[in-house]
Amino acid sequence: MSKLVNILTEGMNSPNPLSVTEYEKTGGFAALKKAVTMTGTDIIAEVKKALLLGRGGAAFPAGKKWEYMERIVCCDVPAAPRYIVCNADEGEPGTFKDRLIMDKLPLKLIEGITIAGYTFNAKAGYIYVRGEYRKIQKQLIAALENARKAGFLGKNILGTDFDFDIHIVSGAGAYVCGENSALLNSTEGKVGRPRIKPPRLAKVGLFLQPTLVNNVETFANIPLIINIGGDAYLQAGHPDSGGSKLICLSGHCRNKGVFEIPLGEVTLRDIIYDPELGGGIAGGGQLKFFHLGGQSGPIGCIDQLDTIYSYTDLWNAGLSVGSGAVVVMDESVSILEYLKSVTEFFVHESCGKCIPCREGNYHILKILRKLSVPGEAAAGDLDILRRLVGTMTGASFCGLGQSAAIALTSAWKHFKAEFEANVTAKAVSQINQYS
């Protein structure tokens, strides 16, 4: 039986993904037509039943987020303008599935965002697209124009009194701008640094107005949920999370790219070795480890290969879905070298707003460099490393600093010997030795 599904990627092989006519041939815009006959509350009820977990990395249930947003716009600030924002920053290394959706299924994404616009009676939506995705940005602009011409965007959509339009914002080129509040600051033309929360963005978001922020893959699932209903969508997935998942395979596996898999039915072994998926290790080498969910996700080892790829099973094994990235590394890779490059990334991308992340990543990198050289590191360095990780994880202002050491701590458990290989018995007590 095939390990692949095409629930979300249905219609992906359209000869012209920007054409509304082509999109309608595969059922495109049927969900929007249905949605405008429903109330916002009914739409939210379907999204809740679907148990769609946010696909941006944090796996927050979309239904809960939408329900909270409804409370804000109906009860707390009913007169305020409200915005729908699609997070298409896709800055997580090893992650390239949102690009596939925007490239091959741009109208499905537009339909999902428009349904959200209708649900919350918003007038404007924004897609914040990674700055490097220039070609995608142009394509989205063309797809939006086609949707406008066909009456699916603009004034009186489908003959109703619903007016809604979507605008493209080019990302600022910083990883932290994918964090939802930094993304809103960047969209407003400010420096892309995270905001303090609360207040939640649903209450005080873009231009300080109620705002819904969801990931590309999350929005792209909405038309399907409306078409088949939340219950059927949940059934197509796993009891803890409806639907399928796009995963991005890269590194030392034979087959690389984006694959749509059913949640709860394939193991990590299938993902790496099945001929339809990763196809095994290129060049016939041995697997050493795999890195899930991007640089901020955990590293797993061969003992965990039989873990089922579902949100709960991965979580119980100390792993996570995150962004859907699966980076496969063979035995030629030194774990310390790999972690140094991960930490260099965070040193580069830390926005510098808070000390635990700005200084913590830098000092972690220095210790990793020492640990890589025989005789450079002492036993006390490992204690300092442990303390640094604890402080950075617990005291950083935003998710970047809070999750920057997840790869390190997970790898430390699996590859303790490599961490200790170069350490001498000499004690180190002064943290300022690294300043």
Ligand X SMILES: Cc1cc2nc3c(=O)[nH]c(=O)nc-3n(C[C@H](O)[C@H](O)[C@H](O)COP(=O)(O)O)c2cc1C
Asked whether position 179 contacts ligand X by CB under 6 A, the answer is: yes
Q: Give alpha helix (H) positions in 51-125.
A: 62-71, 97-104, 106-119
* Neighbouring residues of 297: CB distance < 8 A, sequence distance ≥ 6: 291, 319, 320, 322, 323, 325, 403, 406, 407
Distance CA 60, CA 53 (A): 5
215 belongs to the binding site for ligand X (CB under 6 A): yes
Specify whether the CB–CB gap between 343 and 361 falls below 8 A. Answer: yes
* Contacting ligand X within 195-214 (CB under 6 A): 213-214
Find, among 147, 163, 205, 192, the residue nearest to 28 by Cα: 147
Q: Does 57 bind ligand X (CB under 6 A)?
A: yes
Decide whether 63 or 280 has the Cβ nearer to ligand X. Answer: 63
In the complex with ligand SF4, which residue's Cβ is closer, 182 or 371? 182
Does the footprint of ligand X cover residue 115 (CB under 6 A)?
A: no
Interaction between residue 114 and ligand X (CB under 6 A): no
Contact 321, 59 (CB under 8 A): yes
Which residues make up the interface to ligand SF4 (CB under 6 A)? 176, 194, 350-354, 357-358, 396-398, 400-401
Residue nearer to ligand SF4 on the CB measure, 218 or 396: 396
Binding mask 268-307 for ligand X (x = CB under 6 A): ----------------------------------------
- Residues contacting 5, CB < 8 A, separation 6+: 244, 260, 261, 262
Range 110-136 burial, b when 16+ CB lie within 10 A, else e: bbbbbbbbbbbbbebbbbbbbbebeeb
Q: Determine, following the binding rule CB under 6 A, whether residue 89 of this chain makes contact with ligand X.
A: yes
**If contact means CB under 5 to 8 A according to the sort of partner, which of ligand SF4, ligand X, none does residue 397 touch?**
ligand SF4
> Could you say whether residue 60 binds ligand X (CB under 6 A)?
yes
- Minimum CB–partner distance for residue 125 and ligand X (Å): 14
Least Å distance between CB 292 and ligand SF4? 21
Side-by-side strand order, sheet with 211-215: 165-170, 124-129, 83-88, 211-215
Nearer Cβ to ligand X (72/335): 72
Report what 396 binds from ligand X, ligand SF4, none; CB cut-off 5-8 Å by kind: ligand SF4
Q: Decide: is 112 part of the binding site for ligand X (CB under 6 A).
A: no
User: What Rg value do the Cα atoms of the chain yield, rounded?
Assistant: 23
Nearest to 91 by CA among 99, 100, 81, 101: 99
352 vs 374, which CB is nearer to ligand SF4?
A: 352
Q: State in angstroms the smallest separation of the CB of 399 from ligand SF4.
A: 7
Alpha-carbon distance of 211 to 301, in angstroms, equals: 40
164 or 346: whose CB is closer to ligand X? 346
Q: Shortest approach of ligand X to residue 435 CB, angstroms?
A: 26
Smaller CB distance to ligand X: residue 146 or 215? 215
Residue 26, CB half-sphere, CA atoms under 13 Å: how many? Answer: 21
Residues in a beta bridge with 290: 300, 328
Report the residue number, 107 or 400, with the smaller CB distance to ligand X: 400
Give the bridge partners for 86, in sequence order. Answer: 127, 214
For residue 340, give the 3-state DSSP assignment: helix
**Residue 401 found at the interface with ligand X (CB under 6 A):** no
Q: Decide if residue 352 touches ligand X (CB under 6 A).
A: no
Rounded to an integer, what is the distance from CA 273 to the centroid of its chain? 24
Among 398, 407, 408, 428, binds ligand X (CB under 6 A): 398
What is the closest distance, in whole angstroms, from the C-beta atom of residue 274 to ligand SF4 in the complex?
Answer: 37
Contacted by 241, from ligand X, ligand SF4, none: CB < 5 to 8 Å by type: none
Q: Give the pair of three-digit tokens for residue 144.
A: 């939006």
User: Which of 100/176 has CB closer to ligand SF4?
Assistant: 176
Around Cβ 322, how many Cβ atoms within 10 Å?
A: 26
Task: For ligand X, give the closer residue by CB, 146 or 403.
Answer: 403
The reply to whether 241 sits near ligand X by the rule CB under 6 A is no
| Interface with ligand X (CB under 6 A) | 54-58, 60, 87, 89-92, 175-176, 178-180, 213-215, 218, 398-400
